[in-house]
């Protein structure tokens, strides 16, 4: 059976021909071809003279053209409802403009216009509802809430409160959206009922996001402060919510900002209330956060850092500094760790602690980590043919970057495009990131080892990994965290941990490095335990690439060994007296 659109498909495939032209073509062909064929047959059968034949044909053609023209004009007029409907749909799609289509006709095209108008009006209403109200609870969303706050009395005294159901995401993660939605609706009903005693009308209650509700509490004539009234409200909300056989005990965070003392602008007032969010104690007590202005300022600073971070890569504001890695037993600098710095145009040179947390939370670690990888490969290439060529450069991979399935390819491409041997690069991964998915970690570290890139576990001892991972994961170096190295000569527990890690690593053939060493006594004690590789301010702080050669060459590690031992009252391990070698 032929497809109902076969003729339409056939004509459409002939090029850019409009629907109106298709109809006209069919009309012309339908009117002219049969009539011309009839005239030709009639002329042939009756052997008319040439003049008579021509006259007959002219009459037929003129009559046909007049008739076809009239039919085409009528068809064009009858097509107008279809064309108007099509234009209305396109206009609504592009500009959200509702059509003005007639509704009084009842034939097929009339119902098409009426149904289109109804559907678009219904759709517009639904979109408006979604744009201004929460679909699950029917509450105003953030934008509508702020608009209604702005429509109120600018001098009115009230507390703008935000209440977060802190453990709702856990419920969603554990049991899915359906139970979480049921719990949210039940909580909303409970919140709406509880607000009846606080003077909060329903139009001033809002669902700001998935687990955050906003409302305002008027400054009433009673002696109870808005904070006291909010505390009473929270106490009434703590009752258990039952979803089928599931029992949900909501946990809350409450934030509050005061109008007009904190701000008269609804957006700023809400931001300050959110910045003041804090867990509510079990007894339900909560008061307005007196530091809300400072908390809001911290939030604005964080937002500014995030905004500036997004432009930092484009403006080439990141730089790498390099901290030497030394082997005091062999009296040589064998490597360096590349550490990112942000040369902020206003705040100056910023260490990672000022921006890495923001980068991780805002999803910027991937591009920043890729920049570090490529910058390190370029630097290794720049050291080729210099006295730093033999150094192995270490870079840190974030947990997110390490879990990227293309990370090995990224590393390989960066090295290859800069003509750098993989043996000159070492990847550092924190213990927590390494142990998150041991199977994936094993696969990636094995691929890196096959490529020729070595790997190290950074900050070891601060996570919760099993010692069995030291045996099963194919990494090359273990970096003992500063937490255990600090004052190790004075802290018996740290000393015992460091000794155990060093002895275990020696037995497994894993190199050990003590990071964060800052005193001679720390170096000497770690050397006594059998650790000869170090990194820390005792030897050198991180320096720009242009300074690394001079800094490394200026270190005399024999004198370092001797001074460390003297400071700690320990006997130094024997080592030939010689100047530092860059190897």
- Give the tokens for residue 24: 């006209």
**171 and 122 within one domain:** no
Contact 326, 536 (CB under 8 A): no
Q: Of 86, 78, 533, 40, nearest to 327 (Cα)?
A: 533
Q: Which run of H or E residues covers position 56?
A: helix 50-95
Pairwise CA distance, residues 543 & 408, whole Å: 28
> Phi, psi at residue 283, to the nearest 5°?
-80, -5
What local confidence, expressed as pLDDT, does residue 470 receive? 66
List, run by run, the mean pLDDT of 10-residue segments along the chain (583 residues). Answer: 61 65 70 68 66 71 72 73 82 80 77 84 76 82 87 82 84 79 84 72 75 81 67 78 78 85 85 82 49 57 80 91 92 93 91 86 86 96 92 90 88 95 93 77 91 88 56 86 90 91 88 92 92 93 93 71 58 41 47
Give me the CATH number covering residue 238. 3.30.70.270
For the CA atoms of 400, 403, 409, 411, the dihedral, rounded to the nearest 10 degrees, stands at 50
Residue that is last in its domain, among 270, 290, 310: 290
Q: In what order do the strands lie in the sheet with 205-209?
A: 205-209, 212-218, 158-165, 252-259, 278-279
Whether residues 160 and 257 fall in one domain? yes
In a domain, 425, yes or no: yes
Q: What is the per-residue pLDDT for 280? A: 77
- Taking the C-alpha atoms of residue 180 and residue 391, their distance in angstroms, rounded to an integer, is 55
CATH number (domain holding residue 451): 3.20.20.450
Task: Please count the other Cβ atoms lying within 10 Å of the Cβ belonging to residue 235.
Answer: 15
Residue 487 maps to a domain: yes
Where are the alpha helices (H) located in 392-514, listed in sequence order?
A: 399-402, 407-417, 431-436, 438-451, 468-472, 482-485, 492-508
Q: Are 302 and 275 in contact (CB under 8 A)?
A: no
How many CA within 13 A on the CB side of residue 392? 19
* Domain final residue pick, 235, 258, 290: 290
The reply to whether 471 and 508 lie within a common domain is: yes
77 found inside a domain? yes
Residue at 205 is within a domain: yes
Has residue 10 been placed in a domain? no
Cα–Cα distance for residue pair 461/485, rounded to 1 Å: 11
pLDDT at 141: 87
How far apart CA 435 and CA 429 sit, in angstroms, is 10
Q: Answer yes or no: do 333 and 475 share one domain.
A: yes
CA dist list (Å): 495 to 48, 52, 490, 529, 565:
125, 124, 8, 9, 17
Could you tell me if 226 and 160 lie in one domain? yes
Q: Are residues 124 and 244 in the same domain?
A: no
Cα–Cα distance between 581 and 558 in angstroms, integer? 11
255 contacts 159 by C-beta, under 8 angstroms: no
**CB 201: neighbour CB atoms within 10 A?**
12
Q: Are 490 and 558 contained in the same domain?
A: yes
Whether 295 maps to a domain, the answer reads no
Q: Phi first, then psi: what are they for 480, rounded to 5°?
A: -75, 130
- pTM for this one? 0.55
- The reply to whether 6 falls in a domain is no
Q: For residues 36 and 89, state if they share a domain.
A: yes
pLDDT of residue 155: 79
Give the whole-angstrom CA distance, residue 247 versus residue 549: 64
Q: Assign 3-class secondary structure to 119-177.
A: HHHHHHHHHHHHHHECCCCCCECHHHHHHHHHCCCCCCCEEEEEEEECCHHHHHHHHCH
Range of the domain at 313: 301-570+575-579
What count of Cα atoms within 13 Å lies in the side-chain half-sphere of residue 116?
25
Q: Are residues 403 and 477 in the same domain?
A: yes
- Structure tokens given for 79: 């097509």
How many independent structural domains does the chain possess?
3
- Tell me, yes or no, whether 315 and 423 share the same domain: yes
Asked if residue 7 is part of any domain, the answer here is no
What does the block give as tokens for 254? 């409450």
Task: Show which residues are catalytic.
Answer: 515
**Distance (Å, rounded) from C-alpha 564 to C-alpha 571?**
10
Shared domain check, 175 and 61: no
pLDDT at 579: 38
Does residue 114 sit in the same domain as residue 181? no
Domain boundary among 129, 158, 173: 129
- Give residue 408's pLDDT: 93
């Amino acid at each position: 059976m032929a497809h109902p659109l076969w003729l339409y498909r056939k004509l459409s495939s002939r090029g850019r021909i409009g629907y109106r032209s298709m109809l006209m073509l069919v009309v012309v062909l339908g009117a002219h071809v049969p009539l011309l064929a009839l005239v030709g047959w009639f002329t042939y059968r009756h052997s008319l003279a040439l003049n008579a034949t021509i006259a007959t044909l002219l009459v037929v053609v003129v009559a046909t053209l007049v008739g076809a023209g009239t039919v085409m004009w009528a068809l064009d007029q009858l097509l107008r409802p279809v064309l108007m409907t099509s234009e209305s749909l396109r206009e609504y799609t592009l500009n959200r403009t509702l059509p003005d289509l007639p509704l009084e006709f009842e034939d097929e095209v009339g119902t098409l216009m009426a149904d289109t108008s109804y559907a678009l009006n219904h759709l517009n209403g639904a979109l408006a509802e979604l744009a201004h109200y929460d679909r699950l609870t029917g509450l105003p969303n953030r934008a509508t809430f702020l608009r209604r706050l702005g429509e109120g009395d600018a001098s009115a005294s009230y507390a703008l409160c935000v209440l977060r159901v802190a453990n709702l995401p856990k419920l969603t993660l554990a049991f899915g959206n359906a139970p979480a939605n049921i719990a949210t609706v039940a909580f909303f009903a409970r919140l709406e009922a509880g607000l009846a005693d606080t003077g909060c009308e329903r139009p001033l209650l809002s669902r700001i996001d998935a687990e955050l509700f906003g409302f305002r509490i008027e400054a009433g004539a009673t002696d109870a402060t808005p904070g006291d009234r909010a505390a009473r409200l929270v106490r009434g909300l703590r009752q258990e919510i039952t979803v089928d056989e599931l029992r949900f005990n909501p946990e809350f965070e409450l934030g509050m900002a005061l109008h007009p003392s904190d701000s008269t602008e609804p957006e700023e007032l809400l931001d300050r209330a959110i910045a003041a969010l804090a867990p509510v104690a079990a007894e339900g007590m909560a008061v307005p956060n007196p530091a809300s202005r400072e908390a809001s300022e911290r939030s604005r600073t964080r937002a500014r850092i995030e905004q500036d971070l997004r432009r930092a890569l484009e403006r080439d504001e990141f730089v790498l500094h390099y901290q030497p890695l030394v082997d005091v037993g062999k009296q040589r600098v064998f490597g360096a760790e590349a550490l990112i710095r942000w040369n902020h145009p206003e705040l100056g040179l910023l260490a990672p602690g000022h921006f890495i947390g923001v980068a991780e939370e805002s999803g910027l670690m991937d591009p920043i980590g890729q920049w570090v990888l490529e910058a390190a490969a370029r630097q290794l290439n720049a050291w080729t043919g210099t006295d730093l060529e033999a150094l192995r450069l270490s870079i840190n991979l974030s947990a997110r970057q390490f879990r990227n399935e293309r990370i090995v390819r990224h590393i390989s491409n960066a090295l290859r495009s800069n003509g750098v041997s993989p043996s000159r690069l070492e990847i550092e991964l924190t213990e927590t990131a390494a142990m998150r998915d041991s199977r994936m970690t094993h696969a990636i570290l094995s691929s890196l080892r096959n490529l020729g890139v070595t790997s190290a576990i950074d900050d070891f001892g601060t996570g919760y990994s099993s010692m069995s991972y030291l045996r099963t994961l194919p990494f090359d170096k273990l970096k003992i965290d500063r937490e255990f190295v600090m004052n190790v000569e004075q802290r018996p527990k740290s000393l015992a941990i460091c000794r155990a890690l060093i002895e275990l690593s020696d037995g497994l053939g894993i190199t050990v490095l003590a990071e964060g060493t800052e005193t001679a006594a720390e170096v000497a004690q770690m050397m006594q335990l059998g650790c000869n590789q170090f990194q820390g301010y005792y030897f050198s702080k991180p320096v720009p690439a242009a300074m690394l050669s001079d800094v490394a060459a200026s270190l005399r590690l024999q004198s370092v060994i001797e001074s460390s031992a003297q400071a700690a009252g320990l006997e130094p391990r024997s080592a030939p007296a010689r100047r530092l070698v860059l190897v």
